[in-house]
Each structure stands twice: as structure tokens, then as C-alpha cells.
Structure 1
Amino acid sequence: MSQAVTGRAPTVVVAGGGTAGHIEPAMALADAVKRLRPDATVIALGTARGLENELVPTRGYALELIPPVPLPRKPTTELLRLPLKVRDAVKRTREVLDRVGADVVVGFGGYVSLPAYLAARGRVPIVVHEANQSPGLANRVGARFASRVAVAVPGTPLPNAEVVGIPLRRSITSLDRAALRAEARKHFGLDPDAPTLLVFGGSQGARSINTAVSGAAKDFADAGVGVLHAHGPKNTLVVQEFPGRPPYVPVPYLERMDLAYAAADLVLCRSGAMTAAEVSAVGLPAVFVPLPHGNGEQAVNARPAVDAGAALLIDDADLTAAKVAELVIPLVTDPDRIAKMSAAQVGLGHREADEVLARIVLEAAK
């Protein structure tokens, strides 16, 4: 049972806007802080254009908006205007921290975190959480003057890093897939008994995954495999129906990831840090297709599960309908192999990362 940290009710400000990969760990941390300290106030920082505008209020937390500070990857005229933008964002963020009486600022990287770190520096204790092995610019800056630095994986090059894992929602870390399976399959209209593949490409979908997997729809039907495929809200997916075979169910977005994980025997997806952590936590065997852009961090995220025998890796460039049929169907229809991969996956996660990080944050707030 969790033991609450005592003392004056703290105000915790979390900075994790922009993408779900930054926002979800921030919200899991917020939930854990409230479990340990029900009297705590948790406030999120964000920008007017980020996903946090949808995700934060639905989780029951206040959202304070600050100007975004996009960090260009290459030298452009935007780079020349950056100091002015940073100064404006830091001033506005400092006003928020003063107004809410912040006791600690927790940053998860991205363009909301940089002004938060600079505004808090020398005034409010800072805790940095880095989900990837290759830290971004904001966290590299923040770690220089943070009270504590928490990271998801060993070998992350930040000073005084403590490995805690990635904070995940309790609906994920406490998930009993077997117990929820029947309800989950009914919820999505899937075959109750067929081997089932879950497919998604991040919150916005992934065209290469959509094309390759939907192109193998007949192969799945012929093999008696059901598919639940989240194609992204901005994409459409039309899949031929095969009467008498397990359904192929396309959906724009998965509101209930817990039920999606419970419905599946295998997942084919990207390997963002959050996704890799969730898949490990629920013990779901995976076929990872790392995003081909960026600094290769998604391939790095997938490596522990691949090395443990819990996942397979396909390069995005090699992903075709034929490859999906050749690789996925023999796997998802082999219960013994699926069971071994599932057992290997469970041992990889940090299921208590949310409360471990919450304790670090509450200690820093003192």
C-alpha cells in the first residue's frame, strides 16, 4: 500500500505538452501525485496548439497556456528570432509559476519544458524526466540545473540520472488482459475466439502501416485472424469484408487502449518510448516498425524487447502487405510462441514508475 508523503500541501506544475508521448507520462505522474497526496494541486503547462488541450482537461487537471518555443532542427530565420520568443515564453511562464505558487516544476521534454525550466531556474526546484535514450534539447538544458533527473532507460547521457522507467496510467499497469478479453472483443465487435492482431501507428496513424496491413486483409481472413486497426483520425481505411471470417475492424482512434490491449494476442505498431513501455507493461508480444525519421530513437526503444525475444523488428522501408502476411500470420496463430513472447515482455517494464517518480517530485517540492 502506498504511504503518503506528509507536510504542507504542495503545488506541482508539470510541463509535457505537444505530443501524447510527452503528455501521457505527465498525466500518469499527476495521477500518482494525487494518490500519494490527495491534497496536492497539480497544474499542467501547455500551448494553444498542442494535444494537451484535449488530453489534460479530460483527465481532470487545470491547464495553463504559454507561448510555444519551437526549436528548429536546421539553421533558419526562425533561429534568429528564437531568443525573443524564449524571453517572452519564460516571462509568461514565470508569471504562471508565481500566480499558482509552484513548489516544484516537472518537465518531460519538448517545447513546453524549455521555458518552464528557464522560468523555474533558481526559483523553484526542477525535476526532469527523459523517456528516450537520446535526450532532446529541452531536457539537456533542464538537467543542468535540476534537483533530480529521472530517466526511462540505463545509459541515458544526462547528469546524475536515476533510472525509474516511464510513468504509465494505472488502467494500463493494472490491466488483466485475460480477464478483460471477452468484454474487450465484444466492445470492438471482434471475433471472441480468433487469434487477433492489434494495429496502430501512434495518435495520428501511420500511412505505411495502414497500407501494408490493410493490403493483407484477405490473408488474415483466410488464416482465421481478426484485426483491430486504428488508422488515425485524419486517415481513412476501407477494407473488404469476408463474410464468415473473423472481422477486420478499422477505427480512427482508440479511446480505450486498455480494452484494445486486452482484445489482442499481438500488436504491430511504432516503437515510441510510451508505446514500448505500455506494451511491455501489459505483456503483449509485438512487431515493432520504428518511425524512419528522427535520430533512430524508436529502433533503440524497441531493442530491449527484441533482444529478450518479446518482439520482432521490421524496417519501415521493408513493410509491405506480403511481408506482413509472411511474418505476422505464422506468429499470431502460434499460441505457444505468443505465450513465450508475452512472458518475456512482462519482465521488461517498470510498472511502478509513476509512484517512484511521484515520490521524487514530492521530495523535491519540500
Structure 2
Amino acid sequence: MDKREAAAPAATEHPLAGAPEQVAPASEEVAGPAPTVVVAGGGTAGHIEPALALADAVMRLRPDAKVVALGTPKGLENKLVPPRGYPLELIPPVPLPRKPTTELLRLPRKVRDSVRCAREVLEKVGADVVVGFGGYVSLSAYLAARGRVPIVVHEANQSPGLANRVGARLAKRVAVAVAGTPLPGAEVVGIPLRQAITALDRSALRAEARRHFGLDRDAPTLLVFGGSQGAQSINAAVSGAAKELADAGVGVLHAHGPKNTLAVQEFPGRPSYVPVPYLERMDLAYAAADVVLCRSGAMTVAEVSAVGLPAVFVPLPHGNGEQATNARPAVQAGAALLVEDAELTPAKVVKEVIPLVTDHERVARMSAAAVGLGHGAADEALARIVLQAAGVKPGGGR
């Protein structure tokens, strides 16, 4: 999630809350046993949203399928999964180091308990395949499924975490978002995204989106969000440039995070600076914007590219540098700028961001460069891999 503070109690960080998307079922007659797919990707929206996009795609290809999500009691999946209409089974969390260390040796009891609970879930629901997206839940799911249920791994980042490094050695199929991901047998499919994002017509929704958020109808508009782990520096830098943004005629939609407050001075007669705790409608937020300033988690980069938004990416200065790696293709394609977190100040916003947002021709060029960077059909591509791993045909039968 990656993760954006666009997440809310009843919304996703990435996209839209609500029931699974209503899409016409596959035209083939469904026959044979209905498959049960268990998706494991709890913890952050960056793991959960691809899992839910896959779930929606599985249901389009096999409307008779059952998809069950695996999560932990305190994970964000408790807020994101039930509104989408999928059952959620909970197991004890096992926080993992990013790399094998002596810390991992101190976790055997927690790992055993979590794996036992995961195995009980797999047996209870009659799992035909387990799909892991990384994070706390996935390792337990992989170990529980080993030798019993086929495993499919999806890795969104070019630098895989520990769970997926282990899972890939046990998996029947391994899917990755980008070429060069160091996992055995990796197949590049992209990141599964909801159809509400991949089919978004920003131009058609622009006027509605501006009204929805109370933004100026015609002003160039900057969308800002920071993520649950990284809103503070973005909030300070952009809100600190509020006067200069207003003076330049730039409107702002700023999701500052439900745990943060953001005091922004109003400037009468200028485009609105609209602070919100979170974004319940990411589709409208994307449609309202001309440029986005945000972190560069894998899911965020995929969505921003899919909708054709020019971006100013500010990678989180933590982890193993995967957020900078995620942003690199968009930067190289001319669709984005990259600003290091330590360099993001109000002065940097004035110097780099305002000239971009107010340059209509440059925005148009960057938007065109963004389109085509992603894999718009990644959700169904991964769904077909998953059904094949389970020995099930997309249209029915085995």
C-alpha cells in the first residue's frame, strides 16, 4: 500500500470500496467442480488490493468459484475484504524480517501456530489452490499448503521479500510484476488492478470529480497522498507551499491520513486547497487531478500509470530501496519525476511541482508516456495462471 493514506475504514487505499465489481460472467458454460481459491496477502493495501483484483477476475472467469481471503486479526484486510464481498479467515500473525537473520530463529513457535491455523483453514474451505502476494500471512499459507495444495506466488516488487522468496521455491507457478525479478520460474504478468481503474475514463469523469471534492472546475489540480507509513514529510512539504500553489492558480486535493491533521490557510478567490483524511473514491480522485504527488509503492505506480497521470514520486526512505526501483520505469519513460524524501520541502514543491502542474503541454506529454507502461489485463492473466495451477479450466471443467 505501498501505502496510501487514501485508505479508510470503509474504503481502499487504492481504489474503491464496495461489493465485488459486477461484470458479465464468462460466456463459456461452466461445468465440473467449482474451484476454491485461497488468497493470502494481508497487512497492507499493496498486498490486499492485488489479491482482491485477482479475486474479481477469478469470479469473472469462473462465476461458480469460491474465493476465500486469509488474513490476521489486526491487518488492514479486516477493513478492505468484507466490503468487497469475500469471506475472510484469520490466523495469528508472524512478523518477518525482510531478510533471513537470527531474528527468524526466535519465531518457531509463532510460525508453527500460524501454519497450523492456516492448514486448518485450507482443509475447512477445501482449497484447490493458494495464491500468495507477500506479507505476514503469505509465509504461513505457503508452509501450510506445501505438499498439499498447489501454490501460486505473485510478487509486485522487483526486490522480493522473505515470504515470497520462500514461497517461490514451493510454488507451481510464480508471477511477477516486472522483468528481472529474481525469483525462480518468474512469469511477467504485471500487477492485478481493479477494472474500475484500468477502465477509468478520466476526461469523462473530470467535471463530476471536481464537483465531488469541491475543487475548482478549470484550475490545474494536484492530487497528493502519502501513505500510512509516509504521509508526514509529504504533508509538511505540500501544505507549506499552499500560498505559492494558490498564487500559481493550482488547486490541491490532499489526502493527509486519518491519523494526521492538516491546517491549511485559505486564500480567498484562489483555487481551493482541499484536505481530506482519506479518499473513499480513488477513481474520482484520479479523474479530478492533472498531476499526482505520492509515494511509489508498486501498486500506486501501477495505478497511476494505468490511468495516465503524470507523477511526482517520492519514494519512502525505508526498506531495501524498492520504491525507487518501482518508480524508475515511469521516470525513464518521461511519465514521472522522482524526488528523494530528504529533498522534499516547500521550496522544492515551488521549484519543481508548480511549474509541472501549470504546464499543460508538458502534462499532456507525460500523460501520454504513462499510458501503456502497465499491464491492463494482469488481473485476468494471473487468474488464468491460478485456475490452471488448480487444474481448472477458466470456462469450466478440469
- Please state which band the TM-score falls in when normalised by the shorter chain: over 0.9
Q: Which amino acid aligns with 2:254?
A: H
Report the CA distance shift for 1:247/1:258 in structure 2 as closer, same or farther (over 3 A): same
Counterpart check, 1:240 vs 2:265: yes
Counterpart check, 1:250 vs 2:268: no
Q: What CA deviation, in whole Å up to 9, does each residue of 1:250-296 have, x standing for no partner?
A: 00001110000000000000000000000000000000000001100
The 5 Å alignment of 1:39-54 reads: 39-54=64-79
In structure 1, what is the equivalent of residue 356 of structure 2? 331
Gaps of 5+ in 2: 1-23, 392-398
Report the CA distance shift for 1:205/1:291 in structure 2 as closer, same or farther (over 3 A): closer
The 5 Å alignment of 1:93-242 reads: 93-203=118-228, 206-242=231-267
Q: Is the contact made by 1:220 and 1:325 (CA closer than 8 Å) also made in structure 2? A: yes
Report the CA distance shift for 1:61/1:75 in structure 2 as closer, same or farther (over 3 A): closer
Q: Is the contact made by 2:190 and 2:375 (CA closer than 8 Å) also made in structure 1? A: yes
Secondary structure of the structure 1 residue equivalent to 2:136: coil
In structure 1, what is the equivalent of residue 51 of structure 2? 26
In structure 2, what is the equivalent of residue 266 of structure 1? 291
TM-score, structure 2 normalization: 0.90
Deviation at 1:206, TM superposition (A): 1.0
Deviation at 1:8, TM superposition (A): 1.7
User: What's the C-alpha RMSD, in Å, of the aligned pairs?
Assistant: 1.5
Deviation at 1:202, TM superposition (A): 1.7
Counterpart check, 1:276 vs 2:327: no
Counterpart check, 1:365 vs 2:396: no
Percent identity over paired residues: 84
Q: Is the contact made by 1:105 and 1:124 (CA closer than 8 Å) also made in structure 2? A: yes
Deviation at 1:248, TM superposition (A): 0.1
Secondary structure of the structure 2 residue equivalent to 1:64: strand
Q: What CA deviation, in whole Å up to 9, does each residue of 1:151-190 have, x standing for no partner?
A: 0000000001000000011111010000000000100000
Secondary structure of the structure 2 residue equivalent to 1:343: helix
Report the CA distance shift for 1:223/1:279 in structure 2 as closer, same or farther (over 3 A): same
Deviation at 1:75, TM superposition (A): 9.1
Report the CA distance shift for 1:41/1:316 in structure 2 as closer, same or farther (over 3 A): same
Report the CA distance shift for 1:74/1:306 in structure 2 as closer, same or farther (over 3 A): closer
Q: Which amino acid aligns with 1:296?
A: G
Q: Which has the higher contact order (CA 8 A, sep 6+)?
A: 2
Report the CA distance shift for 1:73/1:103 in structure 2 as closer, same or farther (over 3 A): closer
Q: Which moved more, 1:199-208 or 1:244-253?
A: 199-208
Distance 2:386 2:27 in 1: 15
Deviation at 1:7, TM superposition (A): 3.3
Distance 1:6 1:281 in 2: 34
Secondary structure of the structure 2 residue equivalent to 1:112: helix
Q: Is the contact made by 1:200 and 1:268 (CA closer than 8 Å) also made in structure 2? A: yes
In structure 2, what is the equivalent of residue 64 of structure 1? 89
Report the CA distance shift for 1:217/1:150 in structure 2 as closer, same or farther (over 3 A): same
Q: Is the contact made by 1:205 and 1:230 (CA closer than 8 Å) also made in structure 2? A: no
In structure 1, what is the equivalent of residue 13 of structure 2? none
Distance 1:200 1:184 in 2: 17
Match for residue 11 of structure 1 among 22, 27, 36: 36
